[in-house]
């Protein structure tokens, strides 16, 4: 391929709306173009990267006995009604009707389609286990697409579904897939990806893992123990708080706190610490807008995923009206009455002498002792784990929190979908059973962007050889020099004949323009042919990551390049 | 791959709703499964076939300097509003809204997306010509999906778009693409595909060709001249009718024709031939339901595509009400008044002594001479060409009509989209111009089904080596025989090590079951290992098309198979 024919405009300026580097570089290098919010078209370089990633994924899925299939992008609503998700999934699921008024959806995940494909096939135990996967377009109507390919609405995904007759068999396969994922991330050039325990969310099931590329621009908070191997997504990490009751429980005392609304201000006013306060955080259920009042230690934040899982429905921050019966800014657990769901976080267990709202305008209490003043309440874990917090595994105060980009996930789904959709098999005793499922996803575009995020400098991506759009970039500096042109042309043909993927820049432009374009394309090996090099009867061979920069005699350039590729 | 692990249920009975063989065989062989009307999931064998077809197409597109890109499946409506097609395209275009009420469509063709991707890139003449293509999912909400993969709603398509600065350049490229298409059809195993001139329909533009596989089950009627190389889709074929006026024009005479409504009955009643009658065919415009009355020679049929193109809008067969002013069954051109569009087909030019409706209940005229009785009217070509009709190219009465499946199409689009979407380039004189476009489509699934339609017997498909899901099928008949099992296992490993794609049937089932499954999978080369063969120290090597059936000594089976593949 000659660079002068490569479609797309490369440019120098960082687009103002790009907050992460991979997004800016992939626009600047003409890898892709925005079509609508969270929807992109790909130019040739990204298409080539994506196809190489897809092939690596395909090979690893085939190695663990996966069979490639293809599900439709457009699915009949009845499949999602069978599983129940047509009702439970929110706006991310695009619902529409065809010309005959039949309801359809755009596939955002394909558990239903997978069960429907193998429901008849998997009727006897002897067929198990088996796994099917596809690499296909998905559409998820995200509220806030961002970060280029990191969070989009339309994306290419590899999604796999395995079927088993026992939990042990699922777990064994789950680990095979886990290792296949490690291979994939390693082969595409980000071996540093770590796995973390995660929350299963709308997928259902219990055990699940996410594969995370640690990156400051990541959307996820990752909890990592410095002392043991505990790693979890913030959403899934248990928060452990060790409280010690003061020896003496003071009296519950009403205090006038004019114009004080936040827990910080209350603590300053009362000269107490936030750890000795009981904060109210109020939500409303999406289903019926009823209020959920959650009490938590003043210095901690609510992990909304845990709360959602506990409630079994989605929530949103409350709008507290006059009619609600809640006194915004002064809500406390003592004498709180009304039609609310009232919850207590574990961080309030074994505490006393707390300050809290008094449910009266401009008043707080001090000296709250929940067990004395309110009685027996149930404490659950709703808090976000904090930096330096206690590790749920080794018990040491050694938690550190990092940001990460989720590049893959694997779920043990259990029988959620097979039960709901009535997929059964006859076991070796003649008894009907529901198969146990696992599912395994990787987003292709997000993976490409993550590799770029992990491997770039200010001038462009540094693509690993395994997924680079081309393997070698020939720069013919001063292609108007006949000697340069002849040699570069010859090298281009020679390398192509040997099966090397070459992009060849023979434009009559300055070395500066040539090299900055080459940086943006990020090809691992660059061969510079120039009048000065020709005089020295050599070429410069430079690696994009700058680890190699040496001169090679003209006659051995081709073989040296092939050696470097290997 | 072991056949016993292949997901999907093969079966013997032809499904009752299958009217074409490829549809039945691809269901019976577990190539695919119906998900909804015109929507299928693919199992592994079809996925492998499709990927091989895609790769052949990709190679041929790359050879004519195409650059692979990827457009979104979900497109913002504003792109289709720019081109005007958001309004003009009917129900096939799925329109819906996202969570923010922004209107979106499902891509059914990507001219708009293509222009939008290269609009900025193609601003100077020096960038031209260029071509981009993608292989991607499309959705077209067909009113009547049918024939399995022949007419579906969701499908994978290769669509390509070329951009040029002159009509000559487009034509030159069009011919390159034409030849690339011939290569593709030849490589996938249907070299017998022919090209025909076609109607451009909703794509716009003038010159276009369809590539047709002649097949009785095809949806298209193909006009072929037996004497010259004229070939066209019925929709696009000019109808030539040579009339000779009778020497004497009789008088226009009103005749009572009670209870006679059709032109056939009128001719019988009047003892005249249909060729001497003037038939009325009535439509209504989709835009405003106004009536279109078309007069045509009684023995001919209307080509609705020509009529639609003439009118510039879609039509439907008329519902003739009492208020319409039309006398159903008695409509004729003489004394016809009302707010109708009245059209005359060329077949009525130079005629006299015609019978026709009198626009009076139960009355017809005889002796009509249009030029004498009605005056000057404009005649246009609205008729369907007929078997034995006159060839528009060589003028001989040598037209034959066949049925065909359209497996590809190519269009010269002109500036329709670049003008509508304001894509311009500066030419070498500094003048702004609209680029001229071509577009080129092939449906991957339909192509697979067409290959099956052209290459099958009653037992299954006969896949060509180039796209077969596997190259070799090993049948270990009586795999409970240790000698058979050992040899077949060894052959399986040996062939796989040599890079051969093998499906291996080592199930302990009867030879009958084994062979009927092998027939349904249609693998080109079959190796039969059996106790009897082992005794003779040989294997049977059989080709699926039955052209090869011979015994090969055990030690040379592997090399013989590899030789046959090549």
- State the Cα–Cα distance between residues A196 and A207, nearest whole angstrom: 11
Q: Provide the pairing of β-strand A341-345 with A379-380.
A: parallel
Q: What are the structure tokens assigned to A81, written together?
A: 């009604």
> 3-class SS at A57?
helix
pLDDT the model gives residue A204: 55
Q: For residue B63, what are the CA distances in angstroms to A336, B179, B180, B509?
A: 76, 11, 8, 47
Q: What are the structure tokens assigned to B410, written together?
A: 């190519």
- State the Cα–Cα distance between residues A272 and A278, nearest whole angstrom: 12
pLDDT at residue B205 is higher than 70: no
| A234 closest CA partner among A314, A156, A304, A318 | A304
Q: Is A9 part of any domain? A: no
Contact (Cβ atoms closer than 8 angstroms) between residue B416 and residue B163: no
**B286 and B199 in a common domain:** no
Contacts of A182 (CB under 8 A, 6+ apart): A193, A195
What are the pLDDT digits (tens) for B473-523?
999 999 999 999 999 999 999 999 999 999 999 999 999 999 999 999 999
Measured in degrees and rounded to the nearest 5, phi and psi for residue A5 equal -95, -5
ipTM value: 0.90
- The CATH code of the domain that includes A531 is 3.40.50.800
- What mean pLDDT do residues B225-249 have? 91
**A476 and A445 in a common domain:** no
**A247-265: buried (b, 16+ CB within 10 Å) or exposed (e) per residue?**
eebeebeebebeebeebee
pLDDT at residue B202 is higher than 70: no
**Rounded (5°) CA angle A328-A332-A337:** 90
**B301 and B183 in a common domain:** no
**B45 and B173 in a common domain:** yes
**A195 and A53 in a common domain:** yes
Residue in the structure block whose two tokens are 């002013």: B325
Q: Is A124 part of any domain? A: yes
Beta-carbon separation of B120 and A42 below 8 A: no
- The CATH code of the domain that includes A431 is 3.30.930.10
The residue among B6, B41, B161, B448 with the most chain A CBs within 10 A of its CB, best to mutate, is: B41
pLDDT at residue B29 is higher than 80: yes
CB pairs under 8 A between A and B: 147
**B422 and B287 in a common domain:** no
Residue of A nearest to B129 (CA): A5
A153 to chain B: which residues are within 8 Å by CB? 74, 98
Q: Is A231 part of any domain? A: no
Beta-carbon separation of B104 and A36 below 8 A: yes
**A260 and A184 in a common domain:** no
pLDDT, tens digit only, all 566 positions of chain A: 999 999 999 999 999 989 999 999 999 999 999 999 999 999 999 999 999 999 999 999 999 999 999 999 999 999 999 999 999 898 999 999 999 999 999 999 999 999 999 999 999 999 999 999 999 999 999 999 999 999 999 999 999 999 999 999 999 999 999 999 999 999 999 999 999 988 766 555 578 999 999 999 998 999 999 999 899 999 889 999 988 899 998 999 999 998 887 878 888 888 888 999 999 999 999 888 999 999 999 999 999 999 998 998 889 999 999 888 899 889 999 999 888 999 999 999 999 999 999 999 999 999 999 999 999 999 999 999 999 999 999 999 999 999 999 999 999 999 999 999 999 999 999 999 999 999 999 999 999 999 999 999 999 999 999 999 999 999 999 999 999 999 999 999 999 999 999 999 999 999 999 999 999 999 999 999 999 999 999 999 999 999 999 999 999 999 999 999 99
In DSSP terms, which residues pair with B194 in a beta bridge? B212
- State the Cα–Cα distance between residues B147 and A116, nearest whole angstrom: 22
- State the Cα–Cα distance between residues A47 and A53, nearest whole angstrom: 10
Q: What are the structure tokens assigned to B304, written together?
A: 């609705």
Residue of A nearest to B131 (CA): A7
Which residue from A67, A72, A92 is facing B154, i.e. has the nearest CB?
A72
pLDDT band at B265 (very low <50, low <70, confident <90, very high): confident
Beta-carbon separation of B141 and A69 below 8 A: no
Residue in the structure block whose two tokens are 């706190």: A257
pLDDT the model gives residue B90: 87
Beta-carbon separation of B39 and A8 below 8 A: no
pLDDT the model gives residue B457: 97
**Higher pLDDT, residue B174 or A286:** B174
> 3-class SS at B387?
coil
B50 to chain A: which residues are within 8 Å by CB? 70
Contact (Cβ atoms closer than 8 angstroms) between residue A189 and residue A52: no
Q: For residue A200, what are the CA distances in angstroms to A86, A155, A156, A223, A313?
A: 18, 21, 21, 16, 14
Which residue from B41, B132, B141 is facing A71, i.e. has the nearest CB?
B41
Query: Can you give the pTM of this predicted structure?
Result: 0.91
Beta-carbon separation of A47 and B70 below 8 A: yes
Q: Is A390 part of any domain? A: no
B42 to chain A: which residues are within 8 Å by CB? 69-70
Beta-carbon separation of B121 and A70 below 8 A: no
**B284 and B215 in a common domain:** no
Torsion of CA A227, A233, A236, A241, to 10 degrees: 40
Q: Is A239 part of any domain? A: no
**A524 and A479 in a common domain:** yes
- State the Cα–Cα distance between residues B539 and B557, nearest whole angstrom: 7
Which residue from B76, B94, B106 is facing A36, i.e. has the nearest CB?
B76
C-beta atoms surrounding A500 within 10 Å: 17
- φ/ψ bin of A554: left (φ > 0), alpha (ψ from -120 to 50), beta (otherwise): alpha
Q: Is A246 part of any domain? A: no
- The CATH code of the domain that includes B321 is 3.90.960.10
pLDDT the model gives residue B468: 98
pLDDT at residue B383 is higher than 60: yes
Contacts of A233 (CB under 8 A, 6+ apart): A196, A197, A198, A199, A210, A212, A220, A221, A222, A223
- Burial zone of B453 (CB within 10 Å; 0-12 exposed, 13-18 middle, 19+ buried): buried
In DSSP terms, which residues pair with B138 in a beta bridge? B155
Contact (Cβ atoms closer than 8 angstroms) between residue B290 and residue B319: no
Distance, first Cα to last Cα, chain A? 21
What are the pLDDT digits (tens) for B131-159?
999 999 999 999 999 999 999 999 999 99
- Rounded to the nearest angstrom, the minimum Cα separation between B241 and chain A is 40
- What mean pLDDT do residues B92-98 have? 96
Contacts of A295 (CB under 8 A, 6+ apart): A278, A279, A280, A281, A332, A333, A342, A343, A344, A345, A348, A356
- State the Cα–Cα distance between residues B57 and B426, nearest whole angstrom: 33
The residue among A35, A54, A61 with the most chain B CBs within 10 A of its CB, best to mutate, is: A35
Beta-carbon separation of B117 and A47 below 8 A: no
| A46 closest CA partner among A22, A74, A63 | A22
Half-sphere exposure of A21 toward its Cβ, with a 13 Å CA cutoff?
A: 18
Contact (Cβ atoms closer than 8 angstroms) between residue A355 and residue A364: yes
Residue in the structure block whose two tokens are 């098999």: A425
pLDDT the model gives residue A201: 60
Query: How many domains would you assign to chain B?
Result: 3
Q: What are the structure tokens assigned to B403, written together?
A: 């049925």
A119 to chain B: which residues are within 8 Å by CB? none
> 3-class SS at B54?
helix
Mean pLDDT (chain B) is 94
Q: For residue A520, what are the CA distances in angstroms to A19, A42, A469, B67?
A: 18, 15, 12, 19
The residue among B4, B5, B7 with the most chain A CBs within 10 A of its CB, best to mutate, is: B7
Q: For residue B469, what are the CA distances in angstroms to A68, B48, B274, B444?
A: 12, 5, 54, 15
Contact (Cβ atoms closer than 8 angstroms) between residue B176 and residue B184: no
Q: Is A215 part of any domain? A: no
DSSP designation for B475: E
- Rounded to the nearest angstrom, the minimum Cα separation between A55 and chain B is 12
- Rounded to the nearest angstrom, the minimum Cα separation between A149 and chain B is 13
Beta-carbon separation of A39 and B72 below 8 A: yes
Beta-carbon separation of A67 and B44 below 8 A: yes
In which domain, by residue range, is A531 found?
Answer: 472-565
Q: What are the structure tokens assigned to B273, written together?
A: 């031939």
- What mean pLDDT do residues B239-264 have? 89
Beta-carbon separation of A154 and B74 below 8 A: yes
C-alpha A42: how far from chain center: 21
pLDDT at residue B203 is higher than 60: no
Measured in degrees and rounded to the nearest 5, phi and psi for residue B533 equal -60, -40
In DSSP terms, which residues pair with A529 in a beta bridge? A476
Q: Provide the pairing of β-strand A525-529 with A538-543.
A: antiparallel
**B416 and B274 in a common domain:** no
**B191 and B63 in a common domain:** yes
pLDDT at residue B94 is higher than 80: yes
pLDDT the model gives residue A291: 96
- What mean pLDDT do residues B60-74 have? 98
**Rounded (5°) CA angle B218-B224-B228:** 155
Q: Is B11 part of any domain? A: no
Q: What percent of chain B has pLDDT over 90?
A: 88
| B245 closest CA partner among B170, B354, B365 | B354
In DSSP terms, which residues pair with A11 in a beta bridge? none
Contact (Cβ atoms closer than 8 angstroms) between residue A106 and residue A73: yes
| B220 closest CA partner among B207, B208, B230, B232 | B232
- φ/ψ bin of A89: left (φ > 0), alpha (ψ from -120 to 50), beta (otherwise): beta
**A192 and A57 in a common domain:** yes
Contacts of B47 (CB under 8 A, 6+ apart): A68, A69, A70
Q: Name the maximum alpha-carbon separation found in chain B.
A: 95
Distance, first Cα to last Cα, chain B? 21
| B389 closest CA partner among B515, B183, B274, B241 | B241
């Amino acid at each position: 391929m000659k660079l002068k024919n490569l479609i797309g405009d490369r440019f120098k300026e960082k687009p103002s709306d790009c907050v992460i580097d991979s997004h800016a570089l992939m626009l600047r290098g003409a890898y892709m173009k925005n079509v609508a919010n969270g929807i992109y078209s790909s130019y040739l370089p990204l298409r080539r990267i994506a196809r190489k990633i897809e092939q690596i994924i395909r090979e690893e899925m085939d190695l663990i006995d996966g069979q490639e299939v293809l599900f439709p992008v457009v699915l009949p609503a009845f499949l999602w009604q069978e599983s129940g998700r047509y009702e439970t999934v929110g706006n991310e699921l695009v619902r529409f009707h065809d010309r005959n008024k039949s309801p359809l959806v755009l596939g955002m995940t394909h558990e239903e389609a997978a069960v429907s494909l193998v429901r008849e096939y998997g009727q006897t135990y002897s067929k198990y286990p088996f796994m099917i996967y596809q690499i296909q377009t998905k559409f998820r109507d995200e509220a806030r697409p961002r970060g280029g390919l990191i969070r989009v609405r339309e994306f290419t995904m590899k999604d796999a579904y395995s079927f088993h007759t026992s939990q042990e068999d699922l777990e064994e396969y789950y680990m095979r897939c886990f290792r296949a994922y490690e291979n994939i991330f390693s082969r595409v050039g980000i071996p540093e990806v770590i796995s973390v325990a995660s929350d299963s969310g709308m997928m259902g099931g219990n055990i699940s893992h996410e594969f995370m590329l640690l990156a400051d621009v990541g959307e996820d908070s990752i909890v990592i123990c410095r002392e043991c191997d505990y790693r979890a997504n913030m959403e899934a990490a248990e928060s452990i708080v060790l409280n010690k009751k003061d020896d003496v429980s003071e009296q519950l005392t009403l205090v006038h706190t004019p114009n004080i609304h936040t827990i910080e201000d209350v603590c300053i006013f009362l000269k107490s610490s936030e750890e000795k306060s009981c904060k109210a955080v109020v939500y409303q259920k999406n289903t019926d807008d009823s209020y959920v009042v959650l009490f938590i230690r003043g210095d901690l934040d609510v992990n909304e995923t845990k709360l959602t899982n506990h409630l079994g429905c989605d929530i949103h921050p409350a709008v507290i009206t006059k009619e609600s019966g809640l006194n915004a800014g002064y809500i406390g657990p003592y004498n709180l009455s009304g039609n609310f769901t009232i919850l207590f976080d574990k961080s309030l267990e074994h505490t006393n002498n707390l300050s809290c709202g008094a449910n009266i305008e401009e008043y707080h209490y001090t000296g709250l002792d929940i067990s004395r003043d309110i009685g027996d309440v149930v404490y659950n874990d709703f808090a976000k784990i904090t930096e330096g917090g206690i590790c749920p595994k080794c018990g040491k105060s050694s938690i550190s929190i990092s940001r990460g980009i989720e590049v893959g996930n694997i779920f043990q789904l259990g029988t959620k979908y097979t039960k709901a959709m009535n997929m059964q098999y006859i076991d070796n005793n003649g008894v009907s059973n529901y198969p146990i499922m696992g599912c395994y996803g990787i987003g292709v575009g997000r993976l490409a962007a993550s590799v770029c995020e992990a491997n770039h400098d200010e001038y462009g991506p540094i693509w690993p050889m395994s997924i680079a759009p081309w393997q070698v970039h020939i720069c013919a500096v001063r292609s108007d020099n006949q000697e340069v042109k002849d040699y570069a042309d010859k090298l281009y043909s020679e390398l192509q004949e040997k099966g090397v993927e070459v992009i060849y820049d023979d434009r009559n432009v300055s070395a500066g323009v040539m090299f900055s374009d080459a940086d943006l394309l990020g090809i691992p090996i660059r061969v510079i042919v120039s009048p000065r090099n020709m005089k020295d009867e050599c070429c410069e061979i430079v690696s994009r990551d700058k680890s190699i920069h040496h001169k090679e005699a003209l006659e051995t350039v081709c073989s040296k390049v092939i050696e470097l590729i290997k």
